[in-house]
Amino acid sequence: MGKVGGIDEAGRGPLIGPLVICGVCCDELSLDMLKSLGVKDSKLLTPLRREELFDKIIAIVDHHKIIIIPPDEIDMAVNSSTTNLNWLEAMKSADIINTLPMDKVILDCPSQNIPSYTKYVKDRLNKDVRIVCEYKADLNHVIVAAASILAKVTRDREIEKIKETIGVDFGSGYTSDPKTREFLVEHTALGNGIFRKSWMTYKVLEGKKEQKTLGEY
């Protein structure tokens, strides 16, 4: 019986912190175990439930791989003339597929252009794997949902590490969060690779601060 894999991410949109991509694989019999465990799209679970499932998922699946992409690397991809956030995710997904022993993999596709995304991933593989790309695959496939939980818990843990390091609670890291917006206004110049400086929210605020500085002369 072949191995089926799933790949998903957490943290594409926020201004603060890394993008996390995770891949898991197991045999088809283990998929029933994941379903019985209550594994589903991470967005449908509470943070506590995701934490409870994290180690249990790892114990059930045969292999898993988690890639943490820091803001600086995200900025390089977004600012490049040859790549973007989707292609960065596709490249990392290909790395995971090349690493894990899977015969079929289901990808939660970030692009509406599924054929183009699928080809981009396939062109970067060093082995023959059946690829299924779906928009919102984490809702329809338990193996992708399992990957989404590992990715989300890892991202949440990374965010907590940043908060502990700088000693400030900046909320979720999404600009829709008032606490995050307040933190951005007060700490735009903060280093340590915390902010995604290629994000328009950051650029606009940084531009306003530069104009204010020039106006003081």
For the chain, the three-class secondary structure string (H helix, E strand, C coil) is: CCEEEEEEEECCCCCECCEEEEEEEEEHHHHHHHHHHCCCCHHHCCHHHHHHHHHHHHHHCCEEEEEEECHHHHHHHHHCCCCCHHHHHHHHHHHHHHHCCCCEEEEECCCCCHHHHHHHHHCCCCCCCEEEEECCHHHCCHHHHHHHHHHHHHHHHHHHHHHHHHCCCCCCCCCCCHHHHHHHHHCCCCCCCCECCCCHHHHHHHHHHHHHHHHCC
pLDDT at position 214:
37
Query: Is 158 within 8 Å of 68 (Cβ atoms)?
Result: yes
Do residues 28 and 56 share a domain? yes
Do residues 59 and 156 share a domain? yes
Predicted confidence (pLDDT) per residue in 90-148, tens digit: 999 999 999 999 999 999 999 889 999 999 999 999 999 999 999 999 999 999 999 99
pLDDT at position 1:
59
Query: Is 26 within 8 Å of 124 (Cβ atoms)?
Result: no
Predicted confidence (pLDDT) per residue in 14-65, tens digit: 999 999 999 999 998 999 999 999 999 999 999 999 999 999 999 999 999 9
Q: For residues 51 and 18, what is the distance between their CA atoms, to the nearest angstrom? A: 18
Predicted confidence (pLDDT) per residue in 144-184, tens digit: 999 999 999 999 999 999 999 989 999 999 988 999 988 88
Range of the domain at 153: 3-163
Domain endpoint, select from 143, 163, 183: 163
Do residues 150 and 209 share a domain? no
Tokens of 55: 């180690």
Query: CB neighbours of 124 closer than 8 A, spacing ≥ 6?
Result: 90, 91, 94, 98
Neighbours of 86 (CB within 10 A): 17
Predicted confidence (pLDDT) per residue in 79-90, tens digit: 999 999 999 999
Predicted confidence (pLDDT) per residue in 180-214, tens digit: 988 888 887 665 678 998 988 887 776 554 444 43
Do residues 123 and 147 share a domain? yes
pLDDT at position 202:
81
pLDDT at position 213:
44
Nearest C-alpha neighbor of 64 from the set 92, 89, 99: 99
Do residues 118 and 179 share a domain? no
Do residues 56 and 82 share a domain? yes
Do residues 86 and 141 share a domain? yes
Do residues 12 and 94 share a domain? yes
Do residues 158 and 189 share a domain? no
Do residues 108 and 140 share a domain? yes
pLDDT at position 178:
92
Number of domains composing the chain: 2
